Structure 1
Amino acid sequence: MEFLSKLKTLSERVETLKENLQTEEATKNALIMPFIQILGYDVFNPMEVIPEFTADLGIKKGEKVDYAIMQNGKPIILIECKHWKENLDIHSSQLHRYFNVTKARFGLLTNGVKYRFYTDLEENNIMDKEAFLEFDFENIKENAAIELKKFQKENFDIDKIINSASGLKYSTAIKEILMNELADPSEEFVRFFTKQIYTGKVITKKVLEEFTEIVKKATNQAFKDIVNDRLQSALNKETEPIEEDENSVKEESKVVTTEEETEAFQIVRSIVRTKVDLSRVSARDTQSYFGILLDDNNRKPICRLHLNNCNKYLGVFNQDKKEEKILLNNIDEIFQYSDKILEAILIYEQ
């Protein structure tokens, strides 16, 4: 079963069971231990997972963290658990103390529904105040699932996770700032746009008040447009006809995804599923080619399909991201170039 499917199955379990879990211990057994198992660790093997791991704090002996995930006899992830109804915002200090007295590089605070991952980006062996990754079973986001997959036993690489943690932490903070500005624009935010479009000589308080509502509506509409465009592209929906006056001209989309392109896309998915979760594989159809991307990122092309002319080609990429076109007699021949397609995946994963 694929990683994302396992997470969604556990999400259903969380929703079904949580109201019946009256204690922290019940939360651990019903929700948190299955999560650890999804990461690939044997919760019943003390060489992999130690419950009630001792983390002595100076003169205060016998302090225990709920779980420690082990690697080569050393803790790599400390897990502090709370009852599913507990607000995690008030419980990070306890994990902070445990983190400082062990060699673990990651701390995980969870109530079985939300999972917050911490490390020591700001000061060595001192746990950061802010989590760099949060996963929520009541609101599963695929980008968070992709980052979570790095904590699987088979994928676990401290250096790779640390390298991506900094970007994750700050991008999360930026998104939070943006969401706050969209909901309630600050004066600085409004002034930024007003200065660029206002033709008056002085930006007065009254002008800022007028532009506050304008900026709020415009930015929210812009984000809605972006979301709608992405949804239409992902689902490949045709634009619904719009009622126009008799002098207007109805334009049809010039990009049409053919049945052959769709079938070829499925062939590529069947090839790359041996290396990456299929939730990370997406397609973008253009007038000149059908592109297949990793993480929906134009800088991570897996391959391109050129199928709309008399001659059909498969475009594959080398380490320099230069495209090599391979002539195809039919789309089934794509299977013959599986190694070249997988090479692109390996380059990005490295």
Structure 2
Amino acid sequence: MEFEERLAALATKVENQRGAIQTEEATKNAFVMPFISTILGYDVFDPLEVVPEFTADVGTKRGEKVDYAIMRDGEVQILIECKKSTGALRIENASQLFRYFSVTNARIAVLTNGQVYNFYTDLDAPNKMDDRPFLVLDLLDIDETLLPELRKLTKDVFDLESVISAAEELKYVGAIKRAIAAQFREPDEDFVRLFTTRVYEGSFTQKARTQFTALVAKASKQFLNEQVNDRLKTALGASYSAPVGTSTPSDVVTSQPVAERDIDRDTEITTTLEELEGYQIVKAIACSEVKPDRIVNRDAKSYFAILLDDNNRKPIARLWFNAKKQKYLGLFDADKIETKHPVDSLDGIYEHAEAIRQTVRSYLD
């Protein structure tokens, strides 16, 4: 599998098993060791590459251990400290990393609970681990812009200098993105005041603050949704407000082969943006099992079909989105018998992720 596919497979495992993992040792075995081996590419059973329970006596501290040390050419390059998967990561959990960072050659330290991986280096002071990570990888919410830098830490293409040189920008860009996300989820007073004073001429009183806190939060969410929808429309090459098959200049879609595949030949069929968004969700789920280009769609009058290898005998799912009230996701069992599951929103598709993957796997078997 490709790097991204291996990462997606591990993310699926974390999503499915995280609730059952209750101890730090179980977290290491189920999530962290697979991350070291399948993602970073190091042999966890070769002590020349990965040293578990790594010990380096520091001052008066004797016998303290870091969970894993990744070695290259006999030198420690990466230190990894693990916490149980159900616990949040705090810098207070990294006391051993701080001490060991200053007495080894390691330039990268990782604090993880198996789902979130915080990567640290020494940007603020030489040989002293920073308080803030320069890279945060959440397997359940992967930021794809970080993957090129993560790949540089893998065994085959290890490029520490490149990672360190990019670390400062990564650190602050990542922190700013997380701060923006936090404000969009729950805006604080300064954020609300910033936008209120630009659109409201009155004083920023307690009443105004209460009123505009809700308005700013609502406007932020609507703005994000509109941006996502605009990006999706652009990627698919059309706005689906008009029925498919109406007279449209041919050059509108000639540069959009993806859109051409998504439009049914039947002129009485209207492919909606919601159907295409649902298709992209099912496709993203199924990509953990097969390459994306093997997952295609065919729209029909009653339903929107998603198939493996464009083969009617290999249905993955059907989107029954044409009804005005209740929408359904059609899934197939081993005998290809369809069961319709009600979904109230597109997010409801994710609740059936494992069933979708199992259907794909059944065709591969």
For normalisation by structure 1, the TM-score amounts to 0.64
Structure 2 gap segments, 5+ residues each: 260-290, 293-365
Q: CA deviation at 1:65?
A: 1.0
Q: 1:216: which partner in 2? A: 217
Q: In the alignment, residue 174 of structure 1 is paired with which amino acid?
A: I
**Deviation at residue 35 of structure 1 after TM alignment:** 0.9
Q: Where has structure 1 moved over 6 Å in runs of 4 or more? A: 250-255
Decide whether the 8 Å contact of 2:236 with 2:258 is kept in 1: no
Q: 1:93 to 1:254 in 2, by over 3 A?
A: farther
RMSD of aligned residue pairs (Cα, Å): 3.1
Do the aligned residues in 1 keep the contact of 2:56 with 2:64 (CA within 8 Å)? yes
Identical counterparts, % of pairs: 47
Give yes or no for the alignment of 1:30 onto 2:26.
no
| Residue correspondence of structure 1 range 245-284 to structure 2 within 5 A | 256-258=252-254
Unpaired runs of at least 5, structure 1: 243-249, 264-277, 280-350
**1:177-236 deviation digits (Å, cap 9, x = unpaired):** 2223323434433343344444x4x63425555544443333332222111111222344
* Distance apart, 1:141 and its partner CA: 3.2
**Alignment partner of 1:107: what SS?**
strand
Q: What TM-score do you get using the length of structure 2 for normalisation?
A: 0.61
**Alignment: residue pair count:** 256
Q: Secondary structure at the match of 1:103?
A: coil
Alignment partner, residue 45 of structure 1: 46
1:95 Cα offset (Å): 2.0
Between the aligned partners of 1:44 and 1:236, the Cα distance in structure 2 is 49
Counterparts in 2 of 1:121 and 1:251: CA distance versus 1, 3 Å? farther
The answer as to 2:96 corresponding to 1:100 is no
The 8 Å contact of residues 22 and 86 in structure 2, kept in 1 or not, is answered as no
Q: Does residue 233 of the first structure (1) align with residue 260 of the second (2)?
A: no
Shift of 1:74: 0.8
Structure 1 pair 197–254 and aligned structure 2 pair: CA distance change class (3 A): farther
Superimposed CA distance per residue, residues 101-126 of structure 1 (whole angstroms, 9 cap, x where no aligned partner) = 22200101112222111111111111
User: What secondary structure, in the 3-state scheme, does the structure 2 residue paired with 1:91 have?
Assistant: helix
Seen in structure 2, the aligned counterparts of structure 1 residues 255 and 223 have a Cα distance that, compared at 3 Å, is farther
Cα 1:172–1:60 change in 2 (3 A) is same
Return closer, same or farther for 1:207/1:253 CA change in 2, 3 Å cut-off. farther
Task: Give the letter aligned to residue 148 of structure 1.
Answer: L
Opposite residue 4 of structure 1, the aligned amino acid is E
Structure 1 residue 172 and structure 2 residue 168: aligned? no
Structure 2 equivalent of residue 149 of structure 1: 151
Kindly provide the amino acid, as one letter, of the partner of residue 41 in structure 1.
Y
Letter in 1 for 2:29: N
Tell me, yes or no, if the aligned pair for 2:236 and 2:256 is still in contact at 8 Å.
Answer: no
Letter in 1 for 2:163: I
Query: Pick from 129, 132, 135: which aligns with 1:130?
Result: 132
